[in-house]
Amino acid sequence: MHRRASAALSLAALVALSVSGCAKDSSSPAPSDSAPAASGMRTPVAKPAQAPLSSAALAQRLLNESDLGQGYTRQAKSDNSGRDDVTVIGCPALEKLGGDGAAGEDLDFPNSAKATFSYTRGSDSEVAEELYSDTVDKLGPNTKTVFEAMTGCPLYQIVVGDAPITVATQKLPAPSLGDEAWSQLLTFTSGGHDTVMKQTAVRTGSILIVVSGSPALVDTHLTRAVEKARG
């Protein structure tokens, strides 16, 4: 995977959520009638198939409204593939990876599937899931590179067009799921509003699961996302 495009793993999701939701409080509590939270739960590690899955196969393993519970609506797919006006300032590691990945370009992993859901039952939050598949020797190292770059910069800026977004990052303990896992908390400040987002990535065999959004919603749905992605 090219280093430039690998920045999109974290930045594509965070920009899409922060730009659309900076005026929202996305740290609202998780719904009580949804899937059980991932905290404190350990999923038995089954030996996954090592061969990469196709995009069509990954799409069948994405969470859907019936998995999430009441109050969730799947959002229409946004197309930011033509953007080239995203700049990273104040984080040399991310600048080396390439700020244009933040515009929403797909990763250079050969197969992927994505879905974003809004939750409007008593709150106004979002949760997004991205599935990627490639050989194990590419998935793990490239994901680690992106998360280490982001959490290595506690404060930096993303400029989308002429709109600056200040990003504060905090490395979080990785969940006990899959073969490898990474997690971080991000706070975006734009136009006088703060948005808090959690992002967790889990590699299980040749599949990478990335869940981003309101921290409570990520915790609520992460374990189920990993289980369904395993098939």
Q: What is the pLDDT of residue 35?
A: 43
Higher pLDDT, 14 or 65: 65
Cβ contacts of 138 within 8 Å, gap of 6 or more: 1, 109
Q: What phi, psi does 181 have (nearest 5°)?
A: -155, 150
CA distance 124 to 129: 17
Higher pLDDT, 58 or 101: 58
Q: Report which of 82, 92, 135, 97 is spatially closest to residue 11, judged by C-alpha positions.
A: 97
Convert the pLDDT of each residue in 73-104 to its tens digit: 998 876 555 455 678 888 888 777 764 334 33
Q: Report which of 121, 106, 105 is spatially closest to residue 217, judged by C-alpha positions.
A: 121
Convert the pLDDT of each residue in 97-107 to its tens digit: 764 334 333 34
With residue 229 as reference, give the H or E element that holds it: helix 215-230
Convert the pLDDT of each residue in 150-172 to its tens digit: 888 899 988 877 888 898 999 99
CA distance 230 to 208: 10
**Residue 11 near residue 102, CB atoms below 8 Å:** yes
Strands 193-204 and 125-133: unpaired
DSSP state of 99: G
User: Tokens 């949760």 sit at which residue?
Assistant: 127
Average pLDDT over residues 214-222: 94
CA distance 42 to 48: 17
Q: What is the pLDDT of residue 209?
A: 95
Q: Report which of 2, 49, 95, 35 is spatially closest to residue 206, judged by C-alpha positions.
A: 49
User: Tokens 């709109």 sit at which residue?
Assistant: 163
Cβ contacts of 167 within 8 Å, gap of 6 or more: 14, 18, 155, 156, 157, 158, 186, 187, 188
Higher pLDDT, 126 or 1: 126
CA atoms within 13 A on the CB side of 146: 32
Q: Which of 54-68, 79-93, 217-231 has the lowest mean pLDDT?
A: 79-93
Cβ contacts of 23 within 8 Å, gap of 6 or more: 191, 193
